[in-house]
Structures are given as C-alpha cells and as structure tokens.
Structure 1
Amino acid sequence: MTTTTTKEPAQGAPVAPSGRGGISQSVNDSLIVARRNLIRMMRIPEIVIFGLIQPIMFVVLFSYVFGGSISVPGQGLSAEGYREFLMAGIFAQTVTFATAGAGAGIAEDMHKGLIDRFRSLPMSRGAVLTGRTLADAVQTALTLVVLAVVAVLVGWRAHEGFPKMLAGFGLLLLLGYAFTWIGALIGLTVRTPEAATSGGLIWLFPLTFVSVAFVPSENMPNFLATIAQWNPFSATVQAARELFGNLPPGYVAPDAWPMQNPVLASVLYSLLIIVVFRTLAVRKYRRAAA
C-alpha cells in the first residue's frame, strides 16, 4: 500500500493564494481595479487638473508663438494652416505623455505596498495592471475632450464629418492605451515614483519631436525624415490628420508605407505595442509576486 503525503508549508510562511482563472473573471477583476483607480482620481482632482494644464499650454504656445513661423506644404507660412496641421500632433503627444503618469502611479503603489496587498488576493494576476491602464485611458479620454474644446476655440476644425472625427480620436486613444503599458513596465522596474516619471518622459521627447507631429518631414534632413516617417507616433498623427481632414490641400504623402497607409499602420503599431509590453509587464509582475 502506498501512502500519499502532502507537504505542508512551514509554520509562519506566507502562502500566496492562486489567482482565479477564466477570461470573464479576469475582466471582472480588471474592472474592479479600474473602478478603484477612477474613484481615487475623483478624490484627488489635482491629478486631472494638472494633467490638463500642460496640453492646453502646448496648444496656445504652438498656435500663437510658432504659428506663423513654420512652413506647411501647400500653405506656406500660414498661422491658420499650421494650426490645422498642428492639432493632431498635440492630441497624440497628450495621450502618449500619459505614459509617465501610468508608470508613476504603479511605482507609487509598489512603494506603498498596495501591489503586495493585491498579490495576496485570489484575483487574476494581470488584472491589477489592466485595471490601472483602463483607468488611465478614461482619464486620457477626458483630457482629449477638454483639449478638443480648447482647439476649437483657437480655430481648429474637423472637416470630414462626425464619424471620421470619432475614428480619429479612437486611434489616438488606442495609441495612448498602448503607451500606458510601456509606462506600466517602467513603473514595475524602477524603485521610486520620481524615477518612473523621469523614465516615462525621457524617451518620449525624442519620439514625439522626431516625427511629423509639429513639422513636416519634408523640412527635415533625409536621415531624420526617414526615422520620422516610420515612427509609430507619426503614423497615428498622420492617420488623425487624414480622418480630421487637416491635411493641406494638394498634400502628397511621403513614399514611406506608414505615411501612405497611416490608419492601418496606426492600428498595427498600437496593437503590436500592447501585445509586446503587456506581456512583458505581466511577466514582470508575476516574477515579483513569486
């Protein structure tokens, strides 16, 4: 007769409960975490207010300070033409800068031990990060609404109808959501919220400025123009301009594939970023929880 023995954990040793499986349970856990983060944002309105100030400043400064100084193909040195050209870039920069906030928020939760409390619960391992990124996406959507109102006040218009305008903002939100997963990975990697903020911004500046967001790639040296045209950020900016009807009259897109097919390129780039960085972030979270 054989005897089966069960190895008991050492006395006093913590036992981490296994997360509940199933897609529906994972979705439910993610929504609960997202709700918790949204309630926190509402109780600390400074988070939303300060998040709105910077993009509004960019709109005003770029529109009125640089508006008559940058040449747009087909329109020359036109403040009105540059304002139409600019806004898709400002929208895209705003959604990607949410990366720093996502990373800092997760790093702060790690620093305060909140993530450790979540680990002790029988919940999906990826739900903590998914819930956080969903809450950040809601905040980003609110920021875009306010920013669009400000853009209309300074003279920006969407000329292709309401459905295409919604599609343009949808692509912008998809890019922002993709980038929050990069922020999540940074937040899990660094030790302090301050480091997460710095780490979330330092690479965003070259990414956003070496692009077609603020100046046409035709005005750049050849090697920079090639980088800008294949930049994932540029694809979404170009797609938004196309859907908003903000491309200059007679505009001819560069030969680069993302510039010729910006809507498709924007979707593919964003989905690829989500798949890669969500996988890396969840793996990092699970290793830290082991």
Structure 2
Amino acid sequence: MPSAATERLHPAAKGLDARPGHEVLDVLLTAQAAALDAVRSALPAIEAGAVLMADAMRSGRRLVYAGAGSSALMAGADGMELPGTYGIPSERIGLLMAGGLPTDAIMPGASEDDAQAADLAAAEIQAGDTVIAVTASGRTPYPMAVAITARSKGAKVIAIANNPGVPIFDHADVAICLPTPPEVIAGSTRMGAGTAQKVALNLMSTLMGIRLGQVHDGMMVGLVADNAKLRARARSMVMEIAGVDADCAARALATADGAVKPAILIATGTGKDEATRRLAASDNNLRAALARVNKTGTGSRTTKTNHGSEI
C-alpha cells in the first residue's frame, strides 16, 4: 500500500466501474466535498502565504507560479486571472510549468521529472519574488527544483502539497498542507487534490487582493475593464460606491481612463490629479482615500460604509 494518501485506494472505489451512473457520481461528489474539508485546516498557512504575496506586490517584485501536470494547471489558472481581477500587471506574474504551458491537450508526463529544465526556467526568479510551488505528492522534481533555486536566490517560497511531511516543505517559507483523502480514481489528483489546490489558491490570492486594497465592500475595484461585461461592472461599482447615476459614473471612468478607484473619487467631486494624489497617499486603498476626501470636504458627495452609515 503506497504511503502517500494521494496514491492509496479509496474505500468506496471497490466495484465502482460496475455501479449505476448516479451512484458513481454521488461517490465522486462526496469525495470532492471531503477534499474541500481538508482546506480548512490549512487556513492559517494560507493567510501567511497571502501576506508573502502581498509583500512581493508592494515591493515591486513578482509572483511566480510553478508546478507540473494538473497542479500546474491549477496554479496557472490562478496566476492568469490576477491581472484582470486585481489589476496586477501581467509582467509581474510568472508561470512555470513542466514541459511548458500547453497549447493543445498534450502534457508530456516525463517533463515533471526534468529538474534541469526547472533550474533553467527558475533563472528568471530574483530576490524579493514570491514563488508558489504546487505539487500534489509534495515530491515532484520540477516544482521541487524551482523551490530550491528560488530560495537560493533570496525569493520567498509558498509550497502547496496534499501530503504531510513531504520534501518540498523543507524548501518553503510557508508550507500549505492540504491533507485530502485518497482519490476515488487512485492517483488521479486532478480530482480531490486538484479541487483543494484550486480552492486554496483562490483563497490565498483573494486575500492578497483584499490586503492590497483591490477589494472594497466585496467589489473588485482594482479590475482592468477590457471588455463590455467588465466595463459595465466598473460603471456599476462607481455608481454604488460614489452614489451617482450611470451617466456620471461613465464620465468619471472616461476621465480616469477606465480605472475604477480614481473614477470613484472623481465621481465624488475630486479632480483627476487630486484623486491620483489621494490614492497614492493612501497606499492605493480606496477606503482610506475616500476617508481623506470626506475629512477635507473636497468631495461634493458622501459615501456609505457597508453598514449604510455615512463616513
């Protein structure tokens, strides 16, 4: 019997292939829910990881995601969504995947063992960067090598794995263990392990975005509005937070070149240059910048807190 939980046989898997479809799906769904439960025990470590990510962003450094196979796909999905969601410049996100990011459905399995390729890929990592290395087993050579090289260069490393006490944690500043149960399809870590990884990554990067001031009352005020849906969302956020109508919100966004946070300040009656200055003085935190506007009386409108009282 393999020692790693991700490689063991699931107790409900016996005779799975001979059962009715609805029963198979119920077993799979139950296993996915159990995998999610494993994330809760890792919340303190996930919070610590979010701190490292936010520190890297504040200091002008980069986030580098690394992995192989399905773990790399989970990591890559998180990294690729950060620019649009939280306005993080794409050049400050690195994506290192064993064998390279696929442009088709081919992911060569042997590439995950190529530590030499990982060393070459990790050459771009610099001191002050934060690396998020993801591996279900916790011992995959590619992300292991990236983690080791990253630490040797003075970068911080967040390691995410689905087994306790695994080697990659020895090379991590923050170790996030997601102790998921055995997979119903033994070893298919795109299932429970992958689900837990995706949730942990979502939680960590979302908390980072909040700490960077890119979220206000649950609204993604740091988004980059580059399509019709997001432009409408940006307009709605300006209307909601500044308390203005659609035309005023649209004018403010046009003045702010589509950036939501300065547009909100502009919609309250602040000039464009002053809006930029106030955000800079508030560490780009919208709530703090709005408080400055209302304290000095520069804005012509008041803004509501999430409890409905005026600030």
TM-score by length of 1: 0.30
Specify which structure has the higher proportion of strand.
Answer: 2
Larger relative contact order (C-alpha < 8 A, sep ≥ 6)? 1
Q: Going by fraction, where is helix more abundant, 1 or 2? A: 1
